[in-house]
Amino acid sequence: MTQPGKSSSIGRQVRLYRKLNRWSAEELAKRSGPGLSRSIIANLESGRRTELSVSQLMAIAAAMEVSPIVLLLDITDPEASADPAVFPAFPTKVDSTTTGVLTWLEGSLSSAPALHSKNASTKLMRIQRELGAAAEQTLALRIQVLEGEIEMRTRGELVPDFASLPDEQKLESELGRTFFLWEKAAANEKEKRVTLMELAKALGPLRG
């Protein structure tokens, strides 16, 4: 079990998205339904608890309107190793990186060449659509950040160097939260671009 003070990846991700919503642990528990309590949320985030039932995970994700996957993994770091407290074992074909686990969770591990080709083509089109949406989100957030910085300078206020601040400090201000979301969106867009390029290369010989 994870030692107190060293929360699992689920605990860290739940805390991150809870703070982005500016909710207390009690507020999140209330929104998540009868299967959750303030103590469960607090213990999860602090590391005193490392596990959730499937229904609890789904309830928390639904309350915060995020995919359950982002509570299991930090999808902004494709090469990071998955938390063994959350993923204690993997099939032999799966590596323990975020990218490997995502592929496993998506059900894309197939040994049949024809099915693999069809799955890859479908995934390629899906990522193309997601990349377009991610690029739009990144641009919109960047514009919000720039507008916020201009407004601060207009008022004669010093604009913090958000890029050098820890995430906790970024989340303390409205503009800092927007900057944080922009960073995450930019990382997500970059990840999708890399994935798209890798898939396109993999599909090249199959199409030829």
For residue 208, pLDDT beyond 50: no
Cα distance between residue 132 and residue 138, in whole Å: 10
Distance CA 192, CA 194 (A): 5
The hierarchical CATH code for the domain 9-79 is 1.10.260.40
Q: What is the pLDDT of residues 126-154, one digit of tens each?
A: 777 777 788 888 888 999 999 999 999 99
How many Cα atoms within 13 Å fall on the side-chain side of residue 200?
A: 9
Contact 199, 120 (CB under 8 A): yes
The mean pLDDT value for 6-30 works out to 87
The domain locations on the chain are: 9-79, 113-207
pTM of the predicted model as reported, rounded to 2 decimal places: 0.55
Q: List pLDDT tens digits, range 172-207.
A: 999 999 999 999 999 888 888 877 777 666 655 433
**106 or 88, which is more confident:** 88
